[in-house]
């Protein structure tokens, strides 16, 4: 396994409160099937379309999504989490994140943080640095910091491994879990 990335930097895209999974990944483009490349592309192109037209054309790899309260509420299907990765986001930071959205993020190895005060801390287009060694988020444009609550050791291991499936593959390969 490669050394984990403990510092993320990216341009901020801001959203408000109550961004639900239907806004993130609209249900009409999800087949609930295997999520092949065609479906993943359709979901990516439809992501956030109800609040930002053709958003998929604007996001760059490494960008950071910042949101208000209740990010990821609603029906908790994994395509809503996976499309954030597909769009290129390195992390989501919100005032609060729906519990199941957070769990799905961990399961796919994606960073999601609840950080009270983040909405007023950063403006869209500014650059954030997320430091998971010092457990802080820094607004590089303003030179200000906010505290991050550290992940539990288990959550950090799962995310750094690339998600729960990768953890299970590692456990099977090491003989910790029978392959049958």
Confidence category of residue 32, pLDDT binned at 50, 70, 90:
low
Phi, psi of 149 (to 5 degrees): -80, 130
How high is the pLDDT of residue 1? 45
Tell me which residue of 42, 113, 100 sits closest to 74, measured CA to CA: 100
Helix axes 99-108, 153-161, angle to 10 degrees: 50
pTM of the model: 0.91
How many angstroms separate the CA atoms of 47 and 49, rounded? 5
How high is the pLDDT of residue 175? 81
What value does the mean pLDDT take over residues 80-88?
95
**If you average pLDDT over every residue of the chain, what do you get?**
92
What are 140-154's pLDDT values in tens digits? 999 999 999 999 999
Q: Any residues with CB less than 8 A from the CB of 165 and at least 6 apart, and which? A: none
How high is the pLDDT of residue 152? 96
How high is the pLDDT of residue 4? 63
Q: Going from the N-terminus, what domains does the chain have, and what CATH number goes with each?
A: 7-150 (3.20.19.10)
């Amino acid at each position: 396994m490669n050394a984990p990335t403990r510092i993320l930097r990216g341009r901020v895209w801001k959203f408000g409160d109550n961004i639900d999974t239907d806004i993130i990944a609209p249900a009409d483009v999800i087949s609930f099937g295997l999520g092949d490349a065609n479906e993943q592309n359709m979901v990516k192109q439809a992501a956030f379309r109800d609040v930002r037209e053709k958003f998929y054309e604007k996001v760059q790899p490494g960008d950071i999504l910042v949101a208000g309260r209740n990010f990821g509420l609603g029906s908790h299907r994994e395509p809503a989490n996976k499309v954030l990765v597909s769009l290129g986001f390195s992390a989501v930071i919100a005032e609060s994140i729906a519990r199941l959205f957070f769990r799905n993020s961990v399961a796919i190895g994606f960073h999601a943080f609840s950080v009270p005060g983040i909405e007023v801390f950063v403006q869209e287009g500014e650059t954030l640095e997320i430091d998971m060694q010092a457990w802080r988020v820094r607004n590089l444009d303003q030179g200000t910091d906010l505290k991050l609550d550290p992940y539990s050791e288990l959550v950090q291991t799962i995310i750094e491994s690339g998600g729960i499936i990768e953890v299970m593959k590692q456990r099977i390969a090491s003989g910790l879990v029978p392959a049958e």
